[in-house]
A = this chain, B = another copy of it.
């Protein structure tokens, strides 16, 4: 049950200009995501519920055909299986949280408190 230093984790490349450092717990995944200005996250969906927390910059998120511009202090809840896409209007930092665990992220993530 030691603290995890994010900058010692491997980076997961999610798309060109989009990287994440990921922590997996028993029941959740937290992704600290950095997007470079103009980076595009193609439309996708997943079984995991997601809460998007924008910490820095401006992120355009399109959900079910509606575009939202998220800035620091804004949060968006995405239900499971809802298609969404994104575009970074500036450099952006986001804390994304998921339940259940993002199994597709697990390979490069730190195994939480298992050590």
Query: Which residues of B sit under 8 angstroms from A112, Cβ to Cβ?
Result: 77
Residue of B with least CB distance to A4: B75
Query: Which residues of B sit under 8 angstroms from A45, Cβ to Cβ?
Result: none
Q: Given A53-B30, A53-B32, decide whether A1 and B95 contact each other with a Cβ distance below 8 A.
A: no
Q: Which of B27, B28, B30, B74 contacts A4 (CB 8 A)?
A: B74
Query: Which residues of B sit under 8 angstroms from A46, Cβ to Cβ?
Result: none
Query: Which residues of B sit under 8 angstroms from A33, Cβ to Cβ?
Result: none
Q: Taking beta carbons and an 8 Å cutoff, which residues of A are in contact with B?
A: 1-7, 23, 25-28, 30, 32, 49, 51, 53, 55, 63-64, 66, 68, 70, 73-79, 82, 95, 97, 99, 112-113
Report the separation of the CA atoms of residues A32 and B63 in the bound assembly, to the nearest whole angstrom. Answer: 23
Report the separation of the CA atoms of residues A75 and B6 in the bound assembly, to the nearest whole angstrom. Answer: 7
A to B CB contacts below 8 Å, 18 in the list = A1-B63, A1-B76, A1-B79, A5-B73, A6-B73, A25-B51, A25-B77, A26-B79, A28-B28, A28-B49, A28-B51, A28-B99, A30-B51, A30-B53, A30-B75, A51-B97, A53-B95, A95-B95
Closest Cβ of chain B to A21, distance in Å, is 9
